[in-house]
Structure 1
């Protein structure tokens, strides 16, 4: 945080006192609070040019701005396809993210203005939890699942009926100020009200067929 304040001070002195001497001196009160910075003496003018420190956001405000980003919400897809599965058959689940104006894992936000700082965020998935619609759910996992035969998120239903399947997601990421180095955001956005996919669980029916060979 102190490094970013120094960068802001240097930029302000360059804009307001381009002919002043350097280096920039950071002035702090005994408690460590930033009071201002000394841009140094300007030739032909008495005394140093002292500039008031620009307001800067706290780390907590940066984290809150991340949690308020317009995130996308994941939805589940299942196999067997066609909206139906069979009792006691392993059903495979996978989390997917929509395309659009919202932010998905792997994407970078537009710049957000927080007081005197311009902040960007990258988004990463922390973990997922699959709710199968019959009262059971997976543990939190970093896996997005997958289809047969390699998918590692599976569930077998005991009873027939209609189930609403959901996938919950928690997101984390990183941030940078004014195009600087990326830093860990150290917080989690727990998404809410993810969309459900309705699935029908049916019984398998046996049917005798004549032997085509006679």
Structure 2
């Protein structure tokens, strides 16, 4: 948004307008009084202001969400580590020929685990073995994990000082598919070395993971809750 002050001097008043560049609208700011004895008022310089609506239309990138092991599954009741990048982003734009820089800073992360459990935190988390931001699934099935990041913004006009943008925006990341697997213990007869080696090889293999269908979707946790970390 660009705020322009076109002044009209009539005795002790000035007149201003406000132009929204995105919506192509002009708002009449009315007349303002000038105190007696004040310096002569000329046409005020144009002032550029970036609103939260302008901020929301900029291409702020969604952080990449990471959940669970990279293999795409984890055992039921095992810790599911959640983390993302928390980098501040800088973007450049141009308003009526004036360069404007925008700084978007992630300040809060909301995780939806897909089973009814949610987590809100200011901590972006770290990869395993960290468990700073983590959860677990109580039931077997496929789940979508969704991250929504809240950004606050600042803007700088033509290399000037940084100014805060009033309000914040939310950006949703691509969801992560994860399968929670119930692992059952099995008894083996280790009577021969050959059998022992065979069992060890089988244990190293990945367990069978079913295709995602309506029948393999994970259920909602009846004890689901929201946590703030």
TM-score interval, normalised by the smaller of the two chains: 0.5 to 0.7
Cα pair 1:73 1:191 within 8 Å, conserved: yes
Please give the TM-score of this superposition, normalised by the length of structure 2.
0.61
In structure 2, stretches of 5+ residues that fail to align are 5-11, 15-30, 197-229
Query: Does 1:79 find its partner at 2:68?
Result: yes
Give the Å deviation of 1:116.
Answer: 6.8
Check whether the contact 2:90–2:103 (CA below 8 A) recurs between aligned residues.
yes
Q: Which residue of 1 aligns with 2:52?
A: 63
Change (3 A) 1:76 1:52: same
* Aligned equivalents of 2:75, 2:92: Cα separation in 1: 45
The reply to whether residue 144 of structure 1 matches residue 124 of structure 2 is yes
The CA distance in 1 between the partners of 2:103 and 2:122, in whole Å, is: 18
Paired residues, what number? 165
Q: In the TM superposition, what is the alpha-carbon distance from 1:173 to its structure 2 partner?
A: 2.3
Q: Superposition pairs for residues 46-195 of structure 1, below 5 Å?
A: 52-53=43-44, 55-57=46-48, 59=49, 61-96=50-85, 105-113=87-95, 115=96, 117-139=98-120, 141-192=121-172, 194-195=173-174
Structure 1 32/72 Cα, relative in aligned 2: closer, same or farther at 3 Å? farther
Q: Where is the strand percentage greater, Structure 1 or Structure 2?
A: 2
* Residue matched to 2:23: none
Map Cα deviations across residues 146-195 of structure 1 (whole Å, 9 max, x no partner): 22222311111111000001111010121111211112223201124x31
- What is the Cα-based RMSD across aligned positions, in Å? 3.3
Matched with 1:15 is none
- In structure 2, the residue matched to 1:23 is none
| Helix, strand or coil at the partner of 1:72 | coil
Is the CA contact (8 Å cut-off) linking 1:84 and 1:199 kept in structure 2?
yes
Structure 2 partner of 1:206: 185
Q: CA 1:111–1:144 in 2, change beyond 3 Å: closer, same or farther?
A: same
After TM superposition, give the deviation of residue 28 of structure 1 in Å: 5.9
CA apart distance, 1:55? 4.7
Q: In 2 relative to 1, CA 150–211 (structure 1 residues): closer, same or farther, beyond 3 Å?
A: farther
Consecutive aligned runs of 4 or more in structure 1 exceeding 3 Å deviation:
50-57, 115-118, 211-214
- In the alignment, structure 1 segments of 5+ residues that lack a partner are 6-26, 39-49, 98-104
